Structure 1
Amino acid sequence: MIEAVWIIFAFVLGMGVQRLGLPPLVGYLAAGFAIAASNDFLDLPAGSTEALEHLAHLGVLLLLFTVGLKLKLKSLIKPEVIGGGLLHFAVSTLVFTGGLLILMDIDAYTALMLAIALSFSSTVLAAKVLEGKRELRAFHGRVAIGILIIQDLIALFVMSLASGKTPSMWALVVFGIPLLRPVIYRLLDMSGHDELLVLLGLLLALVAGGYGFESVGLSSELGALAFGALLANHSRAHELSKALWSIKEVFLVGFFLHIGVGGLPDQQAWIFALIALVALPLKGILFYFLLIGFKLRARSSFLTGLSLTNYSEFGLIVASVVLPGWLIPLALTVALSFVVSAFLNRIANPLYERISHHLLPFERKGFHPDEQPLFIKEEVLVIGMGRTGSAAYKHLADKGFSIIGLDSDPMKVEVHAQKGFNVVFADAEDQMLWKRLEAPHLKYVILAANDVEAKVLATQKLREGGFKGFIIGHSLYADHAEAITAAGADYTHLTFAETGIGLAEHLVQEVEKRKG
């Protein structure tokens, strides 16, 4: 059974690279090449590659649909997104074309098409990395996803020109999709919390978005993204995204397997891939300086550029249309860039801390409107306005405390603002936030962010800045609690353990009451 081969190779190599501290997706890429290498021995069915390609396509559609669920379209209408995306594409295409013509014996058309393919960054990898670090809605995450969408639209345009195909007249129907929002909202409200919710997500992502757009000559990927974005403002968008999470992850394993299973690279493919890998840092450097030019701060520019320092699966899609003979070299290039990018993004924040003194001098005067320095006049600060932080905020506000909340998710900030909460947008993992923070009356800090790194960094920076007040945090795990306390917190609440103790204490009180 071919599925058994896929699962065994993916699990073994995924587990192996995870033990090395890399994301499992790197192992899935290696598993694809391993399956290709052992194809004769395994005697795989002739149609297995096509089946895997179909699963991979479903995974990409579901990923883009869930990205759309977390995206507000107005975030695309930003100078740094449109300008950064278009300028990077133009400059990188020009540089790559010239470099390939000098270093390789190929004609100008092939060099141009390869340069265009290499100019794109991976939507799948970047979205997955940002989602894994819970940074999709952070400022740099929103900028990165916005630029990726601009790139994807460029890729779709290039493929349309190269293939000579044009959308049908029925494609104009897609402009009426926003009119369906009330109907789709109603369906989402009626779908409950179980399998119907999952089926609705699959219906919208794969059928309405994927097949629907494809049938009128448009990209199925664009359709999945569009229908996800259509639901982004619904209160249950997060629940729908969470319900689709497991299915999406399984199908994405197929995507990474499919990249490598198409065939083994020859010497020319390795030479091309190594040249492209040497040039990879240029993509990140160019993104950094372009975004600095749009007045983003050094940290945001660095993290955005780093998440986009890779080559794209869309490059493979472009190549399949215009340069089918270059698919294997490009697949190897994409795979190697994924390995490098996954490792770099894993250490992104510590890496920025180490080299920030080299990057900060390039910042322009003034700041982007979303990155203004923060002034706090309140006496209590809650970092992270999820369920825990919101509950703490409300309880203290009801008792009359002067309090402010901080969160890196602009949608959460907006929702809380509508409720009358005093909440501001800021990223607790941004070391420059703490350097520019002014809080003359601050006495108490509650650490309620999701990531232990954010809690540790916020505590360290507050203490380094001279804050002598009381810092309290919470954690699910004892080792995380120790790290937070070691960073300078006065107390760290072990959530599960102390909840259990609280339940037991209620029982003891009930027993004593009955004895009395």
Structure 2
Amino acid sequence: MLTATIWLSFAFGAGLLMRLIGLPPLVGYLAAGFLLSANGHETNELIEAVAHAGVLLLLFSVGLKLRLKSLIRSEVLAGSLLHMGLTVILLWAILSQFGNLSFEAAVMIAIALSFSSTVVAAKVLENKKELRAFHGRVAIGILIMQDLVAVAILSLAGGVTPSPWAFLLLGFFLLRPLLHWLLDICGHGELVILYGLLLALVVGGGSFEEFGLSSELGALLLGIILADHKRATELSNALWGLKEILLVGFFLQIGLSGHPTLLTLEHALLLNLLLPLKALLFFFILLMFRLRSRSAFLTGLSLASFSEFGLIVASVAEGQGWISTDWLVLLALTVAVSFAITAPLNRYSHELYQLVGKGLKRFESRHRHPDDEPINVGSAHILVVGMGRVGTGVYDTLSASHLRIVGLDSDPAKVENHRRLGRRVLYADAEDPGLWAGLSLKGVRIIMLCMPELSAKLMAIQQLRERGFDGQINATALFSEEVEQLKNKGADLVYNYYDGIGSSFADKTLQTLPKELSPAVFRR
């Protein structure tokens, strides 16, 4: 009990200090771990279990926001393997210059440093609501590919091979209707949280471990299976607080992995000089696959840090006697320093791109990636953002009034379905801060925000008002306390979900139409 009290106190104090000086609290948790290590504290089974559970919940939450089709792309498959291959060759060439390193040691250290942090990248993208943005999906896809490579390396280096029955785990896809049905009948209370824990820690993580595979991949897979469920966002939100608390254990665990010296810190800082090269390599590789410079820049920056998964690979190498314990501690500190460097940079990634974007655009291909093309809403007068149940009701009601309407949604599968039904719906992520900056709104007089996420609506309103949009911005609210927040941000009309359905929202909008968009004008 005393040990837990000390750990929590150090974590809270260091995290609060980092927040006050403008750095992410996770940097403070890492610092707390190193301070505890310097005072003789070591990790134990409890902190390891908490850390592992936090990582599994994070990856499960990431899976809830992914679509499997978005991972099977050339920029993800070929891009990740090309980057890893070039990085390993470059780092091996540098490390082999150290006379005290064997060939095996140099290769394993190079491999460990070639990975990008799944935890940091996913957490940063999630906090910025960019997991479903194009660059977010590319980044997560590359991380998944890296995790698959890591599993293969761990199996070969550690002498552990997956069970011959591991292919049975593909049966989870056959159980998808059952898993969806169970979520349907869980209600909206604590059972939802328990169900998420069961899937992430036991069904996904535990079963994969039993068959000799990565529990992290198992948790991610279960999240992906539930990603198209209508309550996937609700499940993710229900697990959010618990996941954040458990991840504190993960960052503490990294800090407790060893007691670094000043010389170790000096070497770690030198290794972190490779971070710009790592990000630049991602940037130019992704440009080869016709991404915009903005998408390639944001993706490369989110993947610039070194990885906690690399520490696992290094730990196996240390167990095999290929690298020394000193190198393991050095790699742990290198990873921690990379977190401290890249986390704040990612926090201001869009502002950084505004500074360097003009110079980077000259490297763009003339041919754009299909998912990275600029959005053209044509001659639309009204945009309906978020084509779920409410958004669809709004769209259909307004369409009957002979107004030119375009729907926007961040779910490619949902967009395709609406198009099959004859609605004009385009793929666009309202949570992408770059959407409104690059979207031509000429002729658009009303924007209706029907997304469920409050933060996405607030950000969209702010972006639109900052760029000078003087038309109407109408939004839905899930709870009564959200109404005032949306109005204070600049919304003209806020409609509570529980006041009616989408058609009622549309009727209220019709009552406030500008004269030039009056249905009577279009009947003449």
TM-score (norm 1): 0.85
Is 1:472 the counterpart of 2:473? The answer is yes
Change (3 A) 1:349 1:479: farther
Tell me by how many angstroms 1:421 deviates. 4.8
Unaligned ranges ≥5, structure 1:
486-490, 500-516
Matches of 1:431 and 1:274, distance apart in 2: 32
Matches of 1:56 and 1:357, distance apart in 2: 41
Is 1:333 the counterpart of 2:339? The answer is no
Q: Which residue of 2 aligns with 1:510?
A: none
Residue type of the alignment partner of 1:160: S
Tell me by how many angstroms 1:108 deviates. 2.3
Which is worse superposed, 434-443 or 61-70? 434-443
Is 1:374 the counterpart of 2:375? The answer is yes
Is 1:152 the counterpart of 2:153? The answer is no
Matches of 2:340 and 2:29, distance apart in 1: 11
Is 1:126 the counterpart of 2:121? The answer is yes
Aligned counterparts, 1:294-313, within 5 A: 294-313=289-308
Residue type of the alignment partner of 2:55: V
Q: Which residue of 1 aligns with 2:363?
A: 362
Deviation track 1:357-414 (CA, whole Å, cap 9, x = no partner) reads 0110011011111122322221122455678867765664454432223344546645
Q: Which residue of 2 aligns with 1:253?
A: 248
Matches of 1:236 and 1:431, distance apart in 2: 25
Q: Is the 8 A contact 1:64 1:221 kept in 2?
A: yes
Deviation track 1:438-485 (CA, whole Å, cap 9, x = no partner) reads 565433345677344443334444x4xxx7x62436695989977x66
Matches of 2:418 and 2:93, distance apart in 1: 51
Matches of 2:126 and 2:305, distance apart in 1: 17
Residue type of the alignment partner of 2:358: H
Matches of 1:200 and 1:470, distance apart in 2: 44
Q: Which residue of 2 aligns with 1:405?
A: 407
Aligned counterparts, 1:412-431, within 5 A: 413=415, 421-427=423-429
Deviation track 1:92-139 (CA, whole Å, cap 9, x = no partner) reads 111111122236742222111111000000111111111111111111
Matches of 2:494 and 2:176, distance apart in 1: 42
Corresponding pairs, count: 480
Matches of 1:7 and 1:415, distance apart in 2: 48
Residue type of the alignment partner of 1:124: V
Change (3 A) 1:391 1:302: farther
Q: Is the 8 A contact 1:101 1:108 kept in 2?
A: yes
Tell me by how many angstroms 1:64 deviates. 1.1
Matches of 1:455 and 1:347, distance apart in 2: 19
Q: Which residue of 1 aligns with 2:352?
A: 351
SS of equivalent to 2:123: helix
Change (3 A) 1:132 1:388: farther
- Of 268, 274, 281, 2:269 maps to 274
Change (3 A) 1:125 1:435: closer
Which is worse superposed, 406-415 or 276-285? 406-415
Residue type of the alignment partner of 1:381: L
Matches of 2:437 and 2:119, distance apart in 1: 34
Matches of 2:330 and 2:164, distance apart in 1: 37
SS of equivalent to 1:367: coil
Deviation track 1:48-84 (CA, whole Å, cap 9, x = no partner) reads 5222111101111111111112111111110000011
Matches of 2:52 and 2:392, distance apart in 1: 39
Q: Is the 8 A contact 2:409 2:429 kept in 1?
A: yes
Aligned counterparts, 1:120-199, within 5 A: 120-199=115-194
Change (3 A) 1:477 1:278: farther
Tell me by how many angstroms 1:202 deviates. 1.5
Change (3 A) 1:272 1:104: farther
Change (3 A) 1:459 1:382: farther
- Of 48, 51, 63, 2:46 maps to 51
Is 1:215 the counterpart of 2:210? The answer is yes
- Of 436, 440, 444, 2:446 maps to 444
Percent of aligned positions that are identical: 50
Question: C-alpha root-mean-square deviation of aligned residues, in Å?
Answer: 2.9
Matches of 2:44 and 2:483, distance apart in 1: 43
Change (3 A) 1:36 1:129: same
Change (3 A) 1:243 1:164: same
Residue type of the alignment partner of 1:317: I
